[in-house]
Amino acid sequence: MAKGQIVAGCLAPHPPHLVYADNPPQNEAYSEGGWETLRWGYQRLARKLKNIDYDAIVIFTPHWQTYIGTHFLGLPEFSSKSVDPVFPNLFRYNYDLKVDVELSEAMRDAASDQGIITKMMRNPDFRVDYGTITSCHLLNPEWDKPIVTISSNRNTHYYSPEVMVEQATALGHACAKAIEDSGKRVVLVASHSLSHRHFVEEAPLPEDMSREHIYNHSQYVWDMKIIEMMRDGKSREVIDIMPEFTEQTIAETEGGGLIWMLGAMGFPDFPAEIYGYQSVIGTGNVIACWDPNDETREYVL
Amino acid sequence: MSESNEPEILFGIYCPPHPQPLLSPNANEGYARLRAAYDECRKRIEENEVDIILVYSTTWPSIIGHQIQALEKAVWTHVDDDFHYLGSMPYEFWMDTEFAHTMRDNCEKRGLEARTVEYEGFPIDTGAVVALQLLNPDNRIPACIISSNMYANRAETIVLGKAARDTLVEQGKKAVVVVVSSLSNRMFTEHIDPVEDRIHSQKDDDWNRKILEFFGDGRLEDLSQLSRDIHGQIRVQKVVAYKPAWWMAATMGQHNNYEGEVLAYEALHGSGGAVITLTPSSVSVGDKEFDEDDVEVYRGDRNVLDKGMLE
């Protein structure tokens, strides 16, 4: 059996606004559009992924928050309605997805072997979080690949951002080992924003783009610093600066997704492809992809 | 419409959000005692003519202001993110939609951003599900659930409580006020044998017992004033502040005139879980010196950076 490999790593923010703006048939809410910079970026990245041969998407989400270890989806199918608890007016999405349980269990076993506290989630009534649904829908609207969702163990809050770097990196290494042993070709997804301070009021028409801007300039400057380092292939430096970035911008990197993904990819020193940056209700969001293939890696934006 | 400016609050309940008392009460003697305490509260609710159960849940975070559950019949099967292996929680709750809409209006009158949520399948949080399943299993009494805004601090939370109070007065409803929150909230970060459950640390236990002493004496306003200390000492810093005592005091009345009763205090995977009742009375104990504003209308957080700058 050939060695498995990570064929791409995507930083894929999950504001439900983006699905709402797309008006897919699965979502009950209707919009007049909005947030095109991100949506068009997502569409371009989705087209790239269509041209990559892969078996499964493994996604790390901060909206499945676990305090007792890291949990993995452990049933082959989930079908239900995902209603965003914060933006239920925008996101009521009927999903029907498949899970690569074999890969999920392999990653759980590898993590457990490394001393990481883990748990398989095998309750059929479990509702898959909206971060998973949003990022996966935007990257693969056809839902024709199985996924594995990994929960966010809340190390930043329980300990510190530095502990999160250590723990999520270790989890990334374990997942990479399991992927290699599986023989599968896998797309990794870190589902989150960068700076993450929200406005606490919403425009009467949520997609009114005349109202959309970053929460404050400090958040913007920090986001740009991180994106610049991504462009320069300085992923190790991104992680080194992450504790400060997380604290200064209340960043959603606190969930550990990007650390996990870059750790699994061995902290790549090649440039990230940047597909778009835009604010959503004040938060900073970048769509980025790390393509380890020198021949297909692009300079997108 | 009540002729008094005082709402008729029969009693308040402070209870934990964890699902063990609902799903696995026999896994540990402490869980069973918490379950018995919930059952006692349920009995007291049944013995009174209660018009509404008003729930403030710390496990329902909101961002766009304050959200108020208004779907008349909320039906779903909930599963907890961490404790999914304990089982599912099917529920069917009846909400007081009239109260919810008036509460929203009263929030807005006091300067708060607020909205009702009325969506089939809305994910009611573990804490609210556990509380309503155990306190009102037959749905005899309509409920209203209020979110905990993740950015809200003291002024906003106090005003939210006052808006609830306005609504109770306006509608003349007899209420039981329920706050769903742990005391210390640090859980063990590994899976444990429930039989061996205990409070995570001696410090957490000491603080919990001090808080329970205050609750037992009916010193709700004193606890409200101590909220920032409590947050710093025994709360994992997930949100900006420990808010439940602020909301509870603002809703029930910002004083210490209560009869407090601690029905149970036990560990829930390391966190401090207590079921406590506070019944309004004429006895006041040990008022502290209150040194923060009593805010009536929310006009935003004070922006100290704008003050004292050179022109």
Structure tokens, B167: 């609504």
**Residue B47 is assigned to a structural domain of this protein:** yes
Tens digits of residue pLDDT in A147-202: 999 999 998 989 999 999 999 999 999 999 999 999 999 999 999 999 999 999 99
Report the largest interatomic distance among the alpha carbons of chain A, rounded to a whole angstrom. Answer: 56
Q: Which letter does DSSP use for residue A147 in this model? A: E
Tens digits of residue pLDDT in B243-290: 999 999 999 999 999 999 999 999 999 999 999 999 999 876 666 556
User: Which of B65, B187, B188 is opposite residue A200, by nearest beta carbon?
Assistant: B65
**Residue B219 is assigned to a structural domain of this protein:** yes
**Residue B1 is assigned to a structural domain of this protein:** no
Nearest CA in chain A to B66: A200
Q: Is A121 on the interface with B (CB under 8 A)?
A: yes
Task: Assess contact for A245 and A222: CB atoms under 8 A.
Answer: yes
The DSSP H or E segment spanning B125 is none
Taking CB atoms and an 8 Å limit, are A85 and B61 in contact across chains? yes
Residue numbers in A near B187 (CB within 8 A) = 67-68
**Cα-based angle A4, A10, A16 (whole degrees, multiple of 5):** 130
Q: Which letter does DSSP use for residue A99 in this model? A: B
Interface test with A, best of B79, B189, B197 (most A CBs within 10 A): B189
For residue B187, give the amino acid letter: M
Structure tokens, B18: 């964890």
The residue-averaged pLDDT of B82-111 equals 98
For residue B223, give the amino acid letter: L
Residue numbers in A near B151 (CB within 8 A) = 198, 200
Nearest CA in chain B to A160: B237
Quick one: pLDDT at residue B1? 42
> Exposure string (b/e) for B283-311, b if CB count within 10 Å is 16 or more?
eeeeeeeeeeeebeebeeeeeeeeeeeee
User: Which of A71, A86, A122 is opposite residue B62, by nearest beta carbon?
Assistant: A86
**Residue B33 is assigned to a structural domain of this protein:** yes
Check whether B3 has a pLDDT greater than 90: no
Q: Is A69 on the interface with B (CB under 8 A)?
A: yes
Residues 6 or more apart whose Cβ sits within 8 Å of residue A166: none
Q: Is B250 on the interface with A (CB under 8 A)?
A: no
Report the largest interatomic distance among the alpha carbons of chain B, rounded to a whole angstrom. Answer: 67
Quick one: pLDDT at residue B307? 54
Q: How many residues does chain B have?
A: 311
Tens digits of residue pLDDT in A88-134: 999 999 999 999 999 999 999 999 999 999 999 999 999 999 999 99
User: Which of B63, B84, B119 is opposite residue A121, by nearest beta carbon?
Assistant: B84
**Residue spans per domain, chain A:** 5-290
**Residue B5 is assigned to a structural domain of this protein:** no
Q: Which letter does DSSP use for residue A56 in this model? A: E
Number of folded domains that form chain B: 1
**Residue B3 is assigned to a structural domain of this protein:** no
Q: Is A180 on the interface with B (CB under 8 A)?
A: no
Tens digits of residue pLDDT in A18-56: 999 999 999 999 999 999 999 999 999 999 999 999 999
Q: How many residues does chain A have?
A: 301
Nearest to A111 by CA among A173, A197, A185: A173
Interface test with A, best of B18, B64, B151, B182 (most A CBs within 10 A): B64
**Residue B311 is assigned to a structural domain of this protein:** no
Q: Which CATH code of 3.40.190.10, 3.40.830.10, 3.90.1330.10, 3.40.50.300 fits the domain covering A5-290?
A: 3.40.830.10
Task: Assess contact for B132 and B91: CB atoms under 8 A.
Answer: yes
Separation between Cα atoms, residue A43 and residue B307, nearest integer Å = 46
Residue B134: count of CB within 10 angstroms of its CB: 20
The DSSP H or E segment spanning B115 is strand B114-117
Q: Is B290 on the interface with A (CB under 8 A)?
A: no
Q: What is the CATH number of the domain that holds B211?
A: 3.40.830.10
Taking CB atoms and an 8 Å limit, are A123 and B60 in contact across chains? no
Task: Assess contact for B240 and B151: CB atoms under 8 A.
Answer: yes
Q: Is B298 on the interface with A (CB under 8 A)?
A: no
Domain span at B111? 12-306
Task: Assess contact for B84 and B170: CB atoms under 8 A.
Answer: no
Structure tokens, A14: 């999950």
Task: Assess contact for A37 and A277: CB atoms under 8 A.
Answer: yes
Alpha helix ranges (H) inside chain A:
16-22, 36-50, 101-113, 130-139, 155-158, 161-182, 217-231, 235-249, 257-264
Tens digits of residue pLDDT in B139-150: 999 999 999 999
Quick one: pLDDT at residue A296? 96
Q: Is B75 on the interface with A (CB under 8 A)?
A: no
Taking CB atoms and an 8 Å limit, are B119 and A88 in contact across chains? yes
Separation between Cα atoms, residue A63 and residue A84, nearest integer Å = 10
Taking CB atoms and an 8 Å limit, are A158 and B63 in contact across chains? no
Residue B196: count of CB within 10 angstroms of its CB: 9
Task: Assess contact for B234 and B203: CB atoms under 8 A.
Answer: yes
User: Which of A92, A121, A123 is opposite residue B88, by nearest beta carbon?
Assistant: A123
Tens digits of residue pLDDT in B40-61: 999 999 999 999 999 999 999 9
Interface test with A, best of B59, B63, B186 (most A CBs within 10 A): B63
Alpha helix ranges (H) inside B68-196:
97-109, 126-135, 154-171
Taking CB atoms and an 8 Å limit, are B81 and A66 in contact across chains? yes
How far apart are the CA of A223 and the nearest CA of chain B, in angstroms? Answer: 21
Tens digits of residue pLDDT in B13-44: 999 999 999 999 999 999 999 999 999 999 99
Separation between Cα atoms, residue B141 and residue B98, nearest integer Å = 14
Parallel, antiparallel or unpaired: strands B114-117 and B66-69: parallel
User: Which of A69, A92, A201 is opposite residue B191, by nearest beta carbon?
Assistant: A69
Residue numbers in B near A154 (CB within 8 A) = 238
User: Which of A65, A66, A198 is opposite residue B63, by nearest beta carbon?
Assistant: A198
Nearest CA in chain A to B149: A200
Separation between Cα atoms, residue A258 and residue A265, nearest integer Å = 11
Interface test with B, best of A73, A86, A193, A199 (most B CBs within 10 A): A86
Quick one: pLDDT at residue B2? 46
Interface predicted TM-score (ipTM): 0.96
Quick one: pLDDT at residue B4? 67
